[in-house]
Chains A and B, each alone.
Chain A
């Protein structure tokens, strides 16, 4: 039995260089820890430990494996492909195929933040592709040695549920405090196995949307700044500017 954790499955959105025509260049995308990866790995490590199971990391891109091994993954399976510009659908399909390679991987843990194309759908697509229930926005994951309980906040309640069988759990940024690996963890990590698989081996395909038009939005906001050394004057200037822009 194993707890699978999907980490570094999407590039950091701020690493995409956008041309005027909306074309996105991911070639400079760093593979630093993004999103809730560190939280997901920590939750998986704790869960696996208390269930007496193996913690297996799955990731897109070979470069990231050591990062998770140093944080407590027992081994990592990485797909050797550059999926920086891939669709959410393809990312999820690849992660699902990797998860399927792990025997008895009932619990799959993944970060919940919207670092994918923006709506945090990879966790739900992953659950769907694996054909199992998903729980999103988990603020706490605990076990009593056999069963897993997940805490979530809904609009009007804090809900705790028990998970009894295969599921995908997407964890929020506050589900655990990531640990900072020490020298010993880094050295131990070197002994742990990394399995690399080719994309073609996985035999995945995902439907793609047809791109009709694309353009860069004017996110480059041009700030008009007022000097707050004189707070009253700056406040009046701001209010006047907001009034003439009909924002207040």
Chain B
């Protein structure tokens, strides 16, 4: 049996969606909400064709979730895969309503024939396999930019009717933050750090590990010591690095929900009773100001 599989793309991060779609027999189509460059980039991937929705210049993409969903639903998909980006989730919600099918979230992988999704629930403590027809899945990690193929497939453009509810007032560019969602190693820092100027210590450790720096909500939002994009947890990013090292973080549920999919969790905390010691694989009970520099030098030592 073959299936009519669709990927919903709102940016170019679809490599893992493509890999998941490739496990399902049948053609894979991509619906793209974005500019021409994005549509052309995704046309040079391993898909049958591209359905391109271009938001009118200066408009707000969120407004077009309903129109994209309607057009995709009309093409009678059996399987729809998308990522966790805001616009993608909005389109997925509309598709659920259009197709009268459940929206399956926190999906880790897809298996075909018949299509089945493996998902995590209850903050990552339960893994379920579920099926539905059509199967509408939001994958936690859509992957990075796809590998380009030599030839481009055809692009069918669908003209969107201009939205009337949401209008752009201003868009102030800001430096694009590091993409934590694809980071292999992450060093996160919390309130255990006494001063913003001490961030250098944590950055040194991150450099020694080849890791990206992130933080708890207080550091990224309340104190503003880190970019808001770097917040890990239910209000920030849910990430899946191979190694997550938490420095001076107490381990509240709202934070830890962001790292349930990390392979190894390491904690450095001077409070032996800190919650995080019940939720990590390795820990050092001690003062981060002594332990972090010691770790940097230990990492520099050759393997025994």
Contact across chains for A135 and B166 when beta carbons are under 8 A apart: yes
User: Beta-carbon contacts of B179-191 to A below 8 Å, as 1s and 0s?
Assistant: 0000001000000
**A88 CB, nearest partner CB in chain B, Å:** 6
Contact across chains for A238 and B266 when beta carbons are under 8 A apart: yes
In the assembled complex, the Cα of A127 lies from the Cα of B89 at a distance in Å of 11
In the assembled complex, the Cα of A172 lies from the Cα of B285 at a distance in Å of 33
Which residue of chain B has the shortest Cβ distance to A118 in the bound complex? B106
Contact across chains for A215 and B126 when beta carbons are under 8 A apart: yes
* A188 interface contact, C-beta 8 A: no
Residues of B within 8 A of A242 (CB): 243, 264, 266, 282
Which residue of chain A has the shortest Cβ distance to B104 in the bound complex? A209
Most chain B CB within a 10 A radius of its CB, from A18, A157, A234: A234
Most chain B CB within a 10 A radius of its CB, from A13, A116, A213: A13
* A228 interface contact, C-beta 8 A: yes
**B268 CB, nearest partner CB in chain A, Å:** 7
Contact across chains for A239 and B295 when beta carbons are under 8 A apart: yes
**A248 CB, nearest partner CB in chain B, Å:** 7
Which residue of chain B has the shortest Cβ distance to A149 in the bound complex? B169
Residues of B within 8 A of A47 (CB): none
User: Given A226-B284, A239-B299, A160 and B169 touching (CB < 8 A)?
Assistant: yes
* A241 interface contact, C-beta 8 A: yes
User: Beta-carbon contacts of A231-248 to B below 8 Å, as 1s and 0s?
Assistant: 110111011111101011
In the assembled complex, the Cα of A150 lies from the Cα of B294 at a distance in Å of 46
B127-161 contacts to A, CB under 8 A, are 127-132, 138, 140
- Partner pick for B122 among A24, A124, A149, CB 8 A cutoff: A24
- Partner pick for A158 among B102, B174, B291, CB 8 A cutoff: B174
Contact across chains for B286 and A117 when beta carbons are under 8 A apart: no
B166-205 contacts to A, CB under 8 A, are 166-177, 185
Contact across chains for A224 and B282 when beta carbons are under 8 A apart: yes
* A161 interface contact, C-beta 8 A: yes
Residues of A within 8 A of B222 (CB): 174
Residues of B within 8 A of A180 (CB): none
Contact across chains for A234 and B122 when beta carbons are under 8 A apart: no
* A208 interface contact, C-beta 8 A: yes
Stretch of A50-58, A66-74, A162-170 that contacts chain B:
A162-170
In the assembled complex, the Cα of A128 lies from the Cα of B303 at a distance in Å of 55
* A176 interface contact, C-beta 8 A: no
Contact across chains for A232 and B277 when beta carbons are under 8 A apart: no
User: Given A114-B238, A232-B298, A207 and B101 touching (CB < 8 A)?
Assistant: yes
Contact across chains for A234 and B130 when beta carbons are under 8 A apart: no
Which residue of chain B has the shortest Cβ distance to A93 in the bound complex? B97
Contact across chains for B217 and A14 when beta carbons are under 8 A apart: no
Contact across chains for A206 and B270 when beta carbons are under 8 A apart: no
Residues of A within 8 A of B163 (CB): 133
Interface size class of A (residues with CB under 8 A): 35 or more
Which residue of chain B has the shortest Cβ distance to A92 in the bound complex? B93
Contact across chains for A119 and B93 when beta carbons are under 8 A apart: no
- Partner pick for A167 among B100, B166, B171, CB 8 A cutoff: B166
**B269 CB, nearest partner CB in chain A, Å:** 9
Which residue of chain B has the shortest Cβ distance to A134 in the bound complex? B90
Contact across chains for A128 and B96 when beta carbons are under 8 A apart: yes
* B2 interface contact, C-beta 8 A: no
Stretch of B14-22, B28-36, B58-66 that contacts chain A:
B58-66
**B286 CB, nearest partner CB in chain A, Å:** 2
In the assembled complex, the Cα of A209 lies from the Cα of B221 at a distance in Å of 37
User: Given A163-B165, A173-B217, A216-B126, A113 and B234 touching (CB < 8 A)?
Assistant: yes
Residues of B within 8 A of A121 (CB): 89, 92-93, 103, 105, 138
Contact across chains for B304 and A13 when beta carbons are under 8 A apart: no
Residues of B within 8 A of A159 (CB): 60, 168, 170-172
**B124 CB, nearest partner CB in chain A, Å:** 6
User: Beta-carbon contacts of A112-139 to B below 8 Å, as 1s and 0s?
Assistant: 1111111111001111110111111101
Contact across chains for B170 and A131 when beta carbons are under 8 A apart: no
In the assembled complex, the Cα of A12 lies from the Cα of B279 at a distance in Å of 18
In the assembled complex, the Cα of A222 lies from the Cα of B265 at a distance in Å of 10
* B27 interface contact, C-beta 8 A: no
- Partner pick for B128 among A113, A211, A226, A240, CB 8 A cutoff: A211
Q: Can you name 27 A-B residue pairings with CB atoms under 8 Å?
A: A13-B122, A13-B123, A18-B122, A115-B234, A119-B105, A121-B105, A124-B94, A125-B96, A125-B97, A128-B93, A128-B96, A134-B65, A136-B62, A159-B170, A160-B168, A207-B101, A215-B127, A219-B123, A219-B124, A226-B285, A227-B286, A231-B284, A234-B286, A235-B298, A238-B282, A239-B299, A247-B243
Residues of B within 8 A of A (CB): 11, 60, 62-63, 65-66, 69, 84, 86, 89-90, 92-94, 96-97, 100-106, 116-117, 119-132, 138, 140, 163-177, 185, 209, 217, 221-222, 228-229, 234-235, 238, 242-243, 253-254, 257, 260, 263-268, 270, 277-287, 290-291, 293-295, 297-299, 301, 303-304
